[in-house]
Amino acid sequence: MPLSRQVFSVVFMFLIALPLHLLAAEPGGEYIAIRKEGSGKIALAVSKLDSRTTEESKLAEHLDTIIHDGLDYIGAFSMISPPLNVKNKGEGEHLLINYGALDSVGAAVYVCGAVTTTSGTMTLAMEVYDTSGAKLLFRKTYNGQPQQFRATGYAFCSDLVEFLTGKKSVFGSKIVFVSNKTGFKEIYECDFDGHGVEQLTNSRTISLTPSLSPDGRYLAYTDFSSGRPALYIRDLSDGKTSAAEKSGVSIDPGWKNSREVATTLSFEGDQAIYLITTGGLVSRRLTNSNAIDVSPSFSPDGNKMAFVSTRNGSPQIFIQDLPSGQASRLTFSGRYNTQPSWSPLGDKIAYTTMDNGGQINIFVIGADGSGLIQLTANSAENESPSWSPDGSMIVFTSSRKGVKKLYIMNATGENQRPLLPMDGEQMQPCWSLFRQ
Amino acid sequence: MNKSIKGIVFLAMMATAGCSSQTAVTSPEKQESNVTPPATNVPAASASPVTSAPSPSGYGFDRWQTGPLGDAFFDFDSSALGADAQAQLKQNAGWLDNNSLTKVLIEGHCDSRGTAEYNLALGERRATTAKEYLKKLGVAPSRLEAVSFGEEKPFDTNTGEDAWAKNRRAHFVIKK
C-alpha cells in the first residue's frame, strides 16, 4: 500500500451527502475511508451475488452470508440494504451503478459481484464502488475450490477492509483455545469469527495455554502427557511435535518471534522464564528473581517482555527490557494482577485483576503505565485477554453465564458477545497474528 | 464414597503386603464411611506391624483424608508452611523414615480462585516447598518428586472456603 496514498477523513452520516462529494472528489487521489474517532461506521451496501446455475446459486447464498456476517462482525461497518435497481447491465462487462439511489439510502460504499463455477473451480468476481465519488474503487477475482467458499469470502472481506481502512484486518486469522468438551482439556482452533472449530490435540490428559507463533507455523502448549506439565512445540506444517528438553514443570508459553518461545521452567529450582528454540532447546534464562516469574508476552519488536512476578509479594505485571535485562513494575492498582497480553500495535497491555471478592476483570494499560481502563465489570470471572491481529478486538474467557465460554469485545470494551456455540467449557484463547 | 473405598482397598493391599503399620489399617474406621465390613476383616493380616508410627492426624484426617501421608495445607496465594503444615510434614517424614524404600510424588494443588497459569506456578511452589522441608528433615531427595496440577485437579469441586481450603495443598502419592 503506497505511503503517498491520499487519506480522506470522511464522516459517513446519512444527512451530509453534500460534503461527501466535496471530500471524496479530489482527482487522482486513492480512496481510504478513515473513521474519525467516535464518528461511527462506514455505511456499506452489499448486493446479493449473481449466479446462473443451481449449484452457483447455492454457493452464492453461502458466500452472501459469509461476506455480510463477516463484515458486520468486525464492527467497522453499518450494513445497509441496497436499494432496488441499484445496478444495471451496461455496455460489455461494465455495470451501471445507480449512485443516486445508493446516496439516498445513505450508503457510502457499494459492493456487488458474481460467483461462477467452471470444471470444479469457483470464481468469485467482486466490485467495490464509491457512492459519493461515483466510481469503481476496485475489482478483483478470487479462485478456489467450491468447498473453500469460507476462505474465499474472507479473502475478499480482508481486501475490502484493508482498502477502506488502510489497516490489516482479522479475516483469515485463527483463535486457538482449550475446551473440556470431550471430558479432557484439549486444544482447539477456530476462525476469527468462531467458525470452523477443529480439535488439535488428543492427549486425553490436560492440555493448556496454546500459543501460535507469529508466522502461524508453530503451536506451543503445555501438556500433562508425561505426568507433569511440559512444553510441547508442534510444527503445524508437518505435525511434528518436540518437547522441551528440561525436567521440571513448564508453564504458559509466549512467542518472542517465530523462532523462539518463552516459557516458565523450574529445573534450576525457582520458576523463571527461559527462551526455548522451536526444536525444544533452552537458549537462555530471561528473568532473575527467586520468586515466581510466569506468563511472558512480548512487544511486537521483541525487545520488551511483560510478565507476572511475585518478586514484590503478590502477583503483579512487570516489563523487562531484554537488551538491558532491567525489569520494572507496570501495575500498582489491585493486589492480584496476572495474564498480560501485549497489543500487536505495541502501545497497550491487557491483563486481569482479581479483586478481594474473587471477581476477575480485564483491564488495559499503556505500555508506559498510563491510561489504565477497565473493560469488563460485574460479570463473574473475565480472564485470558488476547488481542486480534489488528488490535481492534479482544477475545477472552468469561463465566458470566455460569460456565466458562469465549467472548469477543472491541478493544474499548464495547460490544461484548459470545464467540462460538460449543459444548463444555472453553478457555485460554490466543488470537494468532498471521493471516492465511 | 468412591474415594473411601479406594482408600480401604489400598490400605488393605498394604496390610497384606506386610509393610504397613497399625496406623494404616485402623484409619478407615475413622472415616465417615458406611463401608466398614471389609475393613474390619483387615486387621488380621497386620499381625506383625513393622513400625509403631503414630496414627495419622491433621486437617481432614478424621473426615476425608486417606493414606499414611497427610496433605500439607496452605493459605490463599501462599506457599509458606504454617505450623500445621510443618507438623504434618514432620509426621510424613517419620513415616518415610520407617518406609525407607518408598518414593513419593508430591503434587502441588490450588483452589479455583485466581488465574490458571499463575496457579500452576503456585502449585509447584507448594510442592517444592514441601519437598525442601522433607529434605531438611533428612528424607533423601531422590525419593521425592514434585509436580504441580495448579487448579486443574481440585479434591473438592464445590465453591466456598471449606472446599477451597481442602484444595490448597501439597498431596503425597506413594509411587509404585
Binary contact (B115, A354; C-beta < 8 A): yes
* Torsion sign (Cα): B151, A396, A178, A274: negative
pLDDT number for residue A277:
94
C-alpha cell recorded at residue B92 = 510424613
Nearest CA-CA partner of A137 in A112, A102, A106: A112
Band the pLDDT of A92: cuts 50, 70, 90.
low
In a domain, A2, yes or no: no
The C-alpha atoms of residue A373 and residue A210 are separated, in whole angstroms, by 27
The C-alpha atoms of residue B148 and residue A137 are separated, in whole angstroms, by 58
Query: What average pLDDT is seen over chain A?
Result: 89
pLDDT digits (tens, 9 = 90+) for A252-277: 999 999 999 999 999 998 899 999 99
Q: Looking at the structure, do residues A210 and A357 belong to the same domain, yes or no? A: yes
> Which residues does residue A198 pair with via DSSP β-bridges, in sequence order?
A189
| C-alpha distance from A252 to closest chain B C-alpha (Å) | 6
| C-alpha distance from B117 to closest chain A C-alpha (Å) | 6
Could you tell me which residues of chain A have a Cβ less than 8 Å from any Cβ in chain B?
185, 206, 208-209, 222, 224, 227-229, 249, 251-252, 264, 266, 269, 271, 292, 294-295, 308, 314-315, 336, 338-339, 352, 354, 358, 360, 383-384, 427-428
Average pLDDT over residues A357-376: 96
In a domain, A225, yes or no: yes
* pLDDT at position A17 over 70: no
C-alpha cell recorded at residue A26 = 479530489
The C-alpha atoms of residue A43 and residue A72 are separated, in whole angstroms, by 11
Q: Looking at the structure, do residues A238 and A100 belong to the same domain, yes or no? A: no
C-alpha cell recorded at residue B51 = 513400625
In a domain, A178, yes or no: yes
Q: Which of A38-42, A207-211, A238-242 has the lowest mean pLDDT?
A: A38-42
Q: Where are the alpha helices (DSSP H) in A12-98?
A: 17-24, 54-73
Average pLDDT over residues A166-184: 93
DSSP string, A279-327: TS-EEEE----SS-EEEEEE-TTSSEEEEEE-TTSS-EEEEEETTT--E
pLDDT number for residue B128:
96
CATH of the domain at A109: 3.40.50.10070
Beta-strand pair A174-179/A186-191: antiparallel
Is the pLDDT higher at A84 or at B25?
A84
Q: Looking at the structure, do residues A134 and A210 belong to the same domain, yes or no? A: no
* pLDDT at position B83 over 90: yes
pLDDT number for residue B59:
59
pLDDT number for residue B49:
38
Binary contact (A208, B125; C-beta < 8 A): no
pLDDT digits (tens, 9 = 90+) for B104-145: 999 999 999 999 999 999 999 999 999 999 999 999 999 999
Q: Which residues on B lie below 8 Å from A228 (Cβ)?
A: 147-148
Sheet strands side by side (includes A186-191): A198-199, A186-191, A174-179, A426-431
Average pLDDT over residues A47-54: 94
pLDDT digits (tens, 9 = 90+) for B6-55: 444 443 343 333 333 333 333 333 333 333 333 333 333 333 334 444 45
Picking from A206, A249, A315, the nearest residue to B152 by CB comes out as A206
Q: Which residues on B lie below 8 Å from A428 (Cβ)?
A: 116
Q: Which residues on A lie below 8 Å from B121 (Cβ)?
A: 249, 251, 264, 271, 292, 294
In a domain, A265, yes or no: yes
* pLDDT at position A13 over 60: no
Q: Using CA coordinates, name the residue in chain A closest to B161.
A: A358
Q: Looking at the structure, do residues A66 and A207 belong to the same domain, yes or no? A: no
Last residue of one domain, picked from the residues A165, A200, A223: A165
Q: Looking at the structure, do residues A274 and A293 belong to the same domain, yes or no? A: yes
Q: Looking at the structure, do residues A339 and A359 belong to the same domain, yes or no? A: yes
Average pLDDT over residues A268-295: 94
Q: Looking at the structure, do residues A280 and A376 belong to the same domain, yes or no? A: yes
pLDDT number for residue A41:
87
pLDDT number for residue A296:
98
Q: Looking at the structure, do residues A228 and A138 belong to the same domain, yes or no? A: no
Last residue of one domain, picked from the residues A116, A136, A165: A165
Q: Looking at the structure, do residues A85 and A221 belong to the same domain, yes or no? A: no
pLDDT number for residue A91:
67
Average pLDDT over residues A204-214: 96
Q: Looking at the structure, do residues A47 and A181 belong to the same domain, yes or no? A: no
pLDDT number for residue A377:
96
In a domain, A1, yes or no: no
Q: Which residues on A lie below 8 Å from B154 (Cβ)?
A: none
Q: Looking at the structure, do residues A271 and A327 belong to the same domain, yes or no? A: yes
pLDDT number for residue A93:
66
pLDDT number for residue B61:
58
Binary contact (B77, A295; C-beta < 8 A): no
Q: What is the maximum span of chain B, computed from C-alpha positions, in angstroms? A: 49
Average pLDDT over residues A246-257: 88
ipTM of the complex: 0.85
The C-alpha atoms of residue A172 and residue A117 are separated, in whole angstroms, by 23
Kindly list the distances between the CA atom of residue B11 and the CA atoms of B5, B8, B17, in Å, as whole numbers in the listed order. Answer: 10, 5, 10
Please state the domain count of chain A: 2
Q: Which domain holds residue A198?
A: 174-431
CATH of the domain at A196: 2.120.10.30
C-alpha cell recorded at residue A131 = 457512492
* pLDDT at position A98 over 90: yes
pLDDT number for residue A75:
84
Beta-strand pair A186-191/A198-199: antiparallel
In a domain, A436, yes or no: no
DSSP string, A225-263: TTSS-EEEEEETTT--EEE-S--S-EEEEEESSSSEEEE
In a domain, A218, yes or no: yes
pLDDT digits (tens, 9 = 90+) for B149-172: 999 999 999 989 989 999 999 999
Phi, psi of A328 (to 5 degrees): -135, 150
Q: Which residues on B lie below 8 Å from A292 (Cβ)?
A: 118, 121-122, 125
In a domain, A76, yes or no: yes
Last residue of one domain, picked from the residues A165, A198, A225: A165
Q: Which residues on A lie below 8 Å from B147 (Cβ)?
A: 227-229, 249
Average pLDDT over residues A238-265: 90
C-alpha cell recorded at residue A275 = 527462551
Picking from B114, B125, B147, the nearest residue to A354 by CB comes out as B114
pLDDT number for residue B16:
38
Q: Using CA coordinates, name the residue in chain A closest to B153.
A: A206
* pLDDT at position A15 over 80: no
* pLDDT at position A27 over 50: no
Binary contact (B113, A292; C-beta < 8 A): no
Angle between helical axes of B83-98 and B116-136 (0-180°, round to 10):
60
> Chain B interface, mutation test: which of A179, A268, A338, most B Cβ atoms within 10 Å?
A338
Binary contact (B120, A354; C-beta < 8 A): no
Q: Which residues on B lie below 8 Å from A266 (Cβ)?
A: 124, 128
Binary contact (A249, B77; C-beta < 8 A): no
pLDDT number for residue B33:
35
Helix, strand, coil percentages (3-state) for chain B, rounded to 5, are 45, 10, 40
Q: Looking at the structure, do residues A210 and A337 belong to the same domain, yes or no? A: yes
Band the pLDDT of A76: cuts 50, 70, 90.
confident
In B88-164, the DSSP E strands lie at 104-109, 144-150
